[in-house]
Amino acid sequence: MRIIVLGGAGDMGSKAVRDLAEQPDVGSLVIGDYNEDAARALAGEIGDERVSALQVDANDHDALVGAVEPFDVVASAVGPFYRFERKCAAAAIEAGRHYVSLCDDYDAAQAVLELDGQAADRHVTVLTGLGWTPGISNVLARKAAEQLDEVRAIEVAWGSSASDSEGFAVILHTLHIFCGRVASWQDGELVEVPAGSGKQRVRFPEPLGECNVFHLGHPEPVTLPLTYEGVETVTLKGGLSENMLNWLAMLMAKLRLSNTHGKRVAVAKLLKALLPVLGRIGRPEHPCSGIRVDVEGIKDGETRTLTYGAADNMDRLTGLPLAIGALMLGRGEITQRGVVAPEACVPPGAFIVELAKRDITVYEGDELSTPLSVEA
């Protein structure tokens, strides 16, 4: 199969590239990036004749369509997704190519869902949000839902150390999701709640452990109710293990220093320069990221809650699912067409097996200390 990874020279995209380069059925792999020097350096480091680099500008629609047309699958790690998800997906649809992304902005997910009819007409799959959160979170929600007769509530939480990733796009995303009002599914309808509200202390698998989380702007409350139509509640909360940085992000929003892309870029440049210092304040002994999914529902007339989670470094939790999704699309293991989220089309058992092959363990139970069998 032939795969192009847009943004493939970045923190998350490069992890997907390295994984795809190890797969024998990937005949051609192109690192498509605006930073051509970085893309060529990564291709040279991998040192495989199947892997090459290409300069790609996601803001040039016609050029982007031409760049992705020769491939079977387009994988996108181009962030921030509130600026680029719809552009990249639209180019893949026009080229008639399957597409998978890391899209983690709820407003970007809403925008790309509007392309569903176009994707279906072109007989292509646009799989939006297959990374860490959304991505692993959605698949684990489906894993739980398949064991219930009725799904009533899905609570997704993520925690992360700022030291686990200091990429510029990650900083932009963090400022964006802490700003304004964000999507949440409550009492059977999509509502907006203040970003940074609803503080809660949540346990994740070790070594992350407990972390404060807040309502933030991720796609799970937008997409999960589309698959589980009777669900009453879908919440997404997240937070940094360095509590001072949560406070700082909320302060930036309160002062209206992060309410536009231009302002976020200016603030992100400053924060990126300061993170080596700021990240030491409250830095955990083992910086990592984690996901937790609690699904409540009915089974045989009784109320049950199923809990799954995982913890690892952010680049692995995010980039490896992108690679797995690209492979599933290229191998024909995902057949649903149109714009879809992971819970609608990714088989949980096969996905969890692929995570295990890459040494990412899924845990179950309220304490998230029991490894889930990969055959489950």
Percent of the residues in the chain that have a pLDDT greater than 70, as a whole number: 95
Residue 103 CA from chain centroid, whole number: 6
Q: How confident is the model at residue 174 (pLDDT cuts 50, 70, 90)?
A: confident
Query: Could you report the per-residue pLDDT of 70-102, keeping only the tens digit for each?
Result: 999 999 999 899 999 999 999 999 999 999 999
How many CA atoms are closer than 13 Å to the CA of 345, on its beta-carbon side?
A: 23
| pLDDT of 169 higher than 80 | no
What's residue 279's pLDDT?
Answer: 54
What's residue 47's pLDDT?
Answer: 96
What's residue 257's pLDDT?
Answer: 78
Residues 6+ apart with CB under 8 A from 254: none
Whole-structure pTM value: 0.93
Alpha carbon distances (Å) from 140 to 24, 81, 286, 304, 313: 28, 23, 24, 16, 18
Mean pLDDT of the region 319-344? 98
Domain 2-131+314-357 -> CATH class: alpha beta
Sheet holding 2-6, edge to edge: 51-55, 28-33, 2-6, 73-76, 98-101, 125-127, 338-340
What's residue 323's pLDDT?
Answer: 98
Q: How confident is the model at residue 165 (pLDDT cuts 50, 70, 90)?
A: low
Query: Could you report the per-residue pLDDT of 44-76, keeping only the tens digit for each?
Result: 999 999 999 999 999 999 999 999 999 999 999
For 136-312, CATH gives 3.30.360.10
- Which class for 197: exposed (0-12), middle (13-18), buried (19 or more C-beta within 10 A)? middle
Sequence letter at residue 133? T
| pLDDT of 130 higher than 60 | yes
Mean pLDDT of the region 316-344? 97
Query: Could you report the per-residue pLDDT of 204-224, keeping only the tens digit for each?
Result: 999 999 999 999 999 999 999
Q: What are phi and psi of 261, to 5 degrees?
A: -60, -40
Decide: helix, strand or coil at residue 325.
helix
- Which class for 255: exposed (0-12), middle (13-18), buried (19 or more C-beta within 10 A)? exposed
Residue in 98, 35, 264, 27 with CA at minimum distance from that of residue 14: 35
Q: Tell which wins on pLDDT, 273 or 237.
A: 237
The residue extents of the domains of the chain are: 2-131+314-357, 136-312
